[in-house]
Amino acid sequence: MNYDKLNELSIFALRELARRTGVYSPTSKKKDELINEILEIMEGKKEPYLPKTRQGRPPKDYGYSFAEALNPSISRQQPSYQTPILAQNLPTFKYDTDGLICGYVENISPVSACLWIRDNLNFNCIYIPNSIINTFKLKTGDFIHAHLEQEDGQTIVGSVSNINNCPVKKYDKDTRLNYHEIKHILPTKPLDFSKNDLNALGLKKGESIYLYGLNNNNNTKMIINLLNSTEKTKKIYISTVLAEKNVIFLDELDDSVEKFTSTITDTAETAQHIVNLGIERAKRMFERGDDVVVAIDDVKSIMSVDNGEFNVTKNAMSATKNGLNGGSLTLFAIMPNDNSAGLFEKLADHKLSVSGDKFTLLD
């Protein structure tokens, strides 16, 4: 990002970018002043301004990727997600105890984050002030309980009371582990199932297990059965192709399963955000030492909403890990029978054929 590129922005988009970058009082500055201060902060020549109180408004939709503007290394060929349009009015939610709302954090850029809140089959997206992200060192995929409030006519996260099921008074942000820094070891712990025929397959925690079947509805039914049958694990289900005719399958998921789903009418960008959010959620569980199983229904659908380099799909399919910290991340994925997902075949630890209500090992 250089002076000329920034100069192409309208003064309104530039002020929003300046606000997110950490420029003090952007509305009082001229365009060239804003550009120079943005560049100085991005180049590390100047420290960003951090307000002492909660400030800021959620980003407006200027048709411009703030994530790319704040990180010059990001390009269309690398993982990038357009900044979602955040909820502008306070939606109607089902509140948890004590009037709290719960949702998943997504860090859009170094100075921009939002809270994804499930509302039936969809998600609403609420702006999280950067001061809250910095205070708790929140990561994408963190599950938080928060109070929402109105500021300048906008809905924002006002305070946080619980992070990943830990009260903030007991939460230690400095002892968090990092998924990428946890050493992978060969899987040895068996996956425990409630059904003996599944235990006989010899599947292990921290493996990539691919499913192949000819009937889409039956594939969905069977991966849900497989996920529901796993014991002593955290569970995540990911799908990007919900329609009226297949929503009924979600009713079969156990209440303990965390669902990251988008409808077939959602934009590709929205679907990318939700898939990425589900995978990052699994990584946050893994970091805490949990055994977590992710069911992807299905890989070809995720590839269809992905970018040309399939970066979202790559992130999902490569997330499997058996950690030295005691945690594991296991992947169940419905694969296409053609070679459209051949890039990922090498990652399979086991392949299962799906026929009726039976699984058969292919290897």
Taking each helix axis as running N to C, give the angle between helix 11-21 and helix 31-42, from 0 to 180 degrees, rounded to the nearest 10.
30
Q: Read off the pLDDT of residues 156-166 as tens digits, 9 standing for 90 and up.
A: 899 999 999 89
Question: What does the pLDDT read at residue 30?
Answer: 87
**HEC profile of the chain:** CCHHHHHCCCHHHHHHHHHHHCCCCHHHCCHHHHHHHHHHHHCCCCCCCCCCCCCCCCCCCCCCCHHHHHCCCCCCCCCCCCCCCCCCCCCCCCCCHHHCEEEEEEEEECCEEEEEEEECCEEEEEEECHHHHHHHCCCCCCEEEEEEEEECCEEEEEEEEEECCEECCCCCHHHCCCHHHCCECCCCCECCECCHHHHCCCCECCCEEEEECCCHHHHHHHHHHHHHHECCCEEEEEEEEECCCCHHHHHHCCCCCEEEEEECCCCHHHHHHHHHHHHHHHHHHHHCCCEEEEEECCHHHHHHHCCCCCHHHHHHHCCCEEECCCCEEEEEEECCCCCCCHHHHHHCCEEEEEECCEEEECC
Distance CA 291, CA 236 (A): 11
pLDDT at 350 (0 to 100): 97
Q: What is the pLDDT of residue 7?
A: 81
Q: What is the pLDDT of residue 91?
A: 46
Stretches where the chain sits below pLDDT 50 are: 52-98
Q: What is the pLDDT of residue 276?
A: 95
User: 224 near 252, Cβ under 8 Å?
Assistant: yes
State the pTM of this model.
Answer: 0.76
